Amino acid sequence: MTNKIDWSAYRAVLFDLDGVITPTAEVHMRAWEAMFNAFLAGWEGEGDTAPYTDRDYFDHVDGKPRYDGVRDFLAARGITLPEGTPEDATSEDTVCGLGNRKNDAFNEVLEKEGVTAYPGSVALLDHLAGTDLRLAVVSSSVNAPAVLEAAGLLDRFEVVVSGAVATELGLPGKPAPDTFLHAASVVGADAATSVVLEDAVSGVRAGAAGDFGAVVGVDRGVGAQVLVDAGATLVVDDLAELVPGTDTDTDTAEEAG
């Protein structure tokens, strides 16, 4: 299947980062797993302390701002912690302390192993570089600029709306559409003339809530139907499928009906 998006119909492309451009979603998953399971093993208060799983990641954490992910997972387990502040030490059992603990684990892996972008994502970026489309990254992660720099792709984007930018501007995170809407505005577009590329359910929901011209779900494991149900207008396995003239298996791209 070829050219599932008519790029000439749009002005901007808004990329999520982890799981869309770079395989850092896997690094996030493992960092969350290590942090939460260590916490649960030592928790003696009320709540469900069964081991944290990948399903917990997709249901409660994926694509959300870090502290929201902590808060939502704990609520699902019936565990209540003080909110704390972003300055909390990683040793503190607060929402912010756990979030900071996870962020340290992620940064350690990034520093040791680096990051290489998905080849299909680079192929799409190479294609879009020859168009008039404006490109932005919209990520819940405060680490987005560092990840893009490590992947050698920071200069491909006019703007990076990271979790830090969202906090600074007081923008609610995904699944609210505000960060995507802000990015579109910065690059001179609006929702109707922008394409959102997302792998997380919360991000797809944000694109759908913002009434963007197209919301492409990238299935990195959550499931194509789950992304369609969240509001994706198209689901692909790899962004190379969106490069005009690229031949892909007709079973790897699904259009929402």
Q: What is the mean pLDDT of residues 20-49?
A: 92
Share of the chain above pLDDT 90, in %: 81
* Shared-domain flag, residues 123 and 225: yes
Closest by Cα among 180, 193, 198, 192 to 138:
180
* Shared-domain flag, residues 127 and 251: yes
**Residue 238 and residue 231: Cα distance in Å, rounded?**
18
What stretch of H or E contains 197? Answer: strand 194-198
Tracing tokens 């819940």 back to the chain, one arrives at 140
- Tell me: the pLDDT tens digits for 66-112? 999 999 999 999 999 999 999 999 999 999 999 999 989 888 878 88
Confidence grade of residue 253 (pLDDT, cut at 50, 70, 90): very low
With a CB cutoff of 8 Å and minimum separation 6, the contacts of 171 are 161, 165, 178, 179, 182
Task: Give the per-residue pLDDT at 246.
Answer: 75
Long-range contacts of 36-45 (CB under 8 A, 24+ apart): 36/73, 36/98, 39/93, 39/98, 39/101, 40/77, 43/79, 45/79, 45/80
Q: The domain containing residue 91 runs over which residues?
A: 26-113
Just list the catalytic residues: 16, 18
Tokens found for residue 81: 């912690």
> 3-class DSSP state for residue 22?
strand
Closest by Cα among 181, 236, 213 to 19:
236
* Shared-domain flag, residues 101 and 149: no
What residues form DSSP beta bridges with 197? 15, 216
* Shared-domain flag, residues 174 and 99: no
User: Pick from 55, 89, 113: which residue ends a domain?
Assistant: 113
* Shared-domain flag, residues 120 and 155: yes
User: Pick from 91, 113, 135: which residue ends a domain?
Assistant: 113
> Is 1 within a domain?
no
Closest by Cα among 190, 192, 219 to 204:
219
* Shared-domain flag, residues 137 and 108: no
Task: Give the per-residue pLDDT at 251.
Answer: 40
Q: What is the mean pLDDT of residues 178-196?
A: 98
- Tell me: the pLDDT tens digits for 125-146? 999 999 999 999 999 988 899 9
Confidence grade of residue 28 (pLDDT, cut at 50, 70, 90): confident
User: Pick from 86, 113, 140: which residue ends a domain?
Assistant: 113
> Is 2 within a domain?
no
User: How far apart, in Å, do the first and last CA atoms of the chain sit?
Assistant: 17
Q: How many domains does the chain have?
A: 2
Q: What is the mean pLDDT of residues 161-172?
A: 95
Q: Which of 28-32, 108-112, 168-172, 246-250 has the highest mean pLDDT?
A: 168-172
* Shared-domain flag, residues 65 and 129: no
pLDDT at 250 over 60: no
pLDDT at 21 over 70: yes
What residues form DSSP beta bridges with 217? 198, 235
Residue 212 sits in a domain of what CATH number?
A: 3.40.50.1000
pTM for the structure as a whole: 0.77
Tokens found for residue 163: 């979790």
* Shared-domain flag, residues 230 and 195: yes
